[in-house]
Amino acid sequence: MPTTLPEPDADERAHSRELAALIRNEIAANGPMPFSRYMMLCLYAPGLGYYSAGRAKFGAAGDFVTAPELGALYARTLAGAFAPSLRELGDDTDFLELGGGSGAFAVDALREFAALGALPNRYLILEPSADLRARQRERIVRELPQDVAARVAWLDRPPEQPWRGVLFANEVVDALPTTRFTLREGEVFEEHVDVDGEHFVRVDRPADALVAGAVRHVERALGRTFEDGYRSEILPQLPYWLQAIAATLERGAMLFVDYGYPRAEFYLPERRDGTLVCHYRHRAHADPLHWPGLTDITAFVDFTALAESGVGAGFEFVGYAPQGQFLLASGLLDLAQADDEVERVRRTAEVKRLTLPGEMGERFQAIAFSRGLDDVLAGLRMFDLSRRL
Ligand SMILES: C[S@@+](CC[C@H](N)C(=O)[O-])C[C@H]1O[C@@H](n2cnc3c(N)ncnc32)[C@H](O)[C@@H]1O
């Protein structure tokens, strides 16, 4: 267990124990729980999971800072990059944001769309957390003019009717409950969570056909077999998830931005314990069993798997590039200009956080797909690195 993390207060400890009790009960009833189920409960158990309970998660007072939280430049740049596609699609367009976080992206993107005369007809947010939805709604109503805020609506599930427009997700794929696997005597095992006295412990059990098949697919694609003891993450459900969220997008584009690697880097032989990272009050640690419900749990994204899923769902591949180059090629520096000296210095610092290789510039990457649209995201295609996928 990490020893250098700040201690939660009494309320937080009580909250975590309540979630732990729920997990224990499920394990008592069904036996050891797949890690993906444990992660799902830790993040999304109604009222108790990390994203479902009322704590501040984003920004200085929370556990981590995302690109839209740094300031308005990220959302403004992406709005500018999408504006030509929205205009080409005509009047009846939607912008669908998955996982709206604090609502920062929606507010800044809608302001920019309004300034550019490219407002989508509706701005839809698919957000599983009731707490985050309430925060998003409150912020949008507070910060946007009424006629713009009126375009925003929340969805419980992906759109069922055919629609046109743009689908966007920043740091959502890394929050999908991931499967962890390992190899023993050449066989694929899936990591589970069990109870040992007061504690949760990891146990490995033979993988089912879905997980084993997904691991074997990766081995075939890499041209090597994982050695015994190698442990990593995989999202066997990714193709089905993507198909579910994007199937009804009749004409338009989708963009996913997240931290991750092309497959060959994701599964480097020396990365023997995967990519899982937990965040608690701006400290990263590697123990997801520590204070369940209080800690964010994420895994890096295998961008090759995401590319396969997008193409498998019937989309055309547009491009794959590091966030920094993508934003710079999409007009970020023009937006960083400001007459006010203090504001200019602030924006310069924001540009550095978004683009420098040691900050978010290379660790975060963007991948896009389209259907029935040409010339999508010119700035992304300019730095396309899809040969690495
Ligand atoms: C790390 S936060 C990122 C929030 C925001 N996009 C940002 O960049 O600040 C992950 C977000 O994804 C949401 N989320 C998780 N799983 C999701 C899913 N299957 N569909 C849509 N949103 C999801 C979470 O509730 C949360 O809002």
99 lines ligand 1 (CB under 6 A): yes
Query: Could you give the domains of the chain?
Result: 67-171+249-266+306-388 (3.40.50.12710)
Quote the ligand 1 centre to 314 CA distance (angstroms). Answer: 24
Quote the ligand 1 centre to 48 CA distance (angstroms). Answer: 16
Neighbouring residues of 379: CB distance < 8 A, sequence distance ≥ 6? 81, 326, 327, 328, 329, 330, 331
Q: What is the DSSP string of 8-22?
A: P-HHHHHHHHHHHHH
51 lines ligand 1 (CB under 6 A): yes
- Does pTM surpass 0.85? yes
258 lines ligand 1 (CB under 6 A): no
**pLDDT digit of tens for each residue in the chain (389 aa)?**
455 778 888 888 999 999 999 999 999 999 999 999 999 999 999 989 998 886 656 666 666 789 999 999 999 999 999 999 999 999 899 999 999 999 999 999 999 999 999 999 999 999 999 989 999 999 999 999 999 999 999 999 999 999 999 999 999 999 999 999 999 999 999 999 999 998 999 999 999 999 999 999 999 999 999 999 999 999 999 999 999 999 999 999 999 999 999 999 999 999 999 999 998 877 889 899 988 999 899 999 999 999 999 999 999 999 999 999 999 999 999 999 999 999 999 999 999 999 999 999 999 999 999 999 988 999 999 999 999 99
Neighbouring residues of 255: CB distance < 8 A, sequence distance ≥ 6? 78, 82, 166, 167, 168, 169, 366, 367, 368, 377, 380
Quote the ligand 1 centre to 242 CA distance (angstroms). Answer: 14
Instruction: Give the DSSP letter of residue 182.
Output: E
Quote the ligand 1 centre to 298 CA distance (angstroms). Answer: 11
Q: How far apart are CA 360 and CA 254, in angstroms?
A: 21
Q: How far apart are CA 317 and CA 311, in angstroms?
A: 6
Tell me which amino acid residue 363 is.
Answer: R
98 lines ligand 1 (CB under 6 A): yes
Quote the ligand 1 centre to 172 CA distance (angstroms). Answer: 4
Distances (CA, A) of 63 to 51, 60, 66, 91: 12, 8, 10, 39
Cα 318 from chain centroid (whole Å): 19
50 lines ligand 1 (CB under 6 A): no
Name which residue sits closest to atom 19 of ligand 1, judged by CA.
Answer: 176
Angle at 211 between CA 208 and CA 215, to 5 degrees: 130
Q: Which atom of ligand 1 is nearest to the CA of 104?
A: 9
Name which residue sits closest to atom 14 of ligand 1, judged by CA.
Answer: 99
Quote the ligand 1 centre to 372 CA distance (angstroms). Answer: 27
Name which residue sits closest to atom 22 of ligand 1, judged by CA.
Answer: 99
HEC string of 144-179 equals CCHHHHCCEEEECCCCCCCEEEEEEEECCHHHCCCE
59 lines ligand 1 (CB under 6 A): no
Quote the ligand 1 centre to 270 CA distance (angstroms). Answer: 30
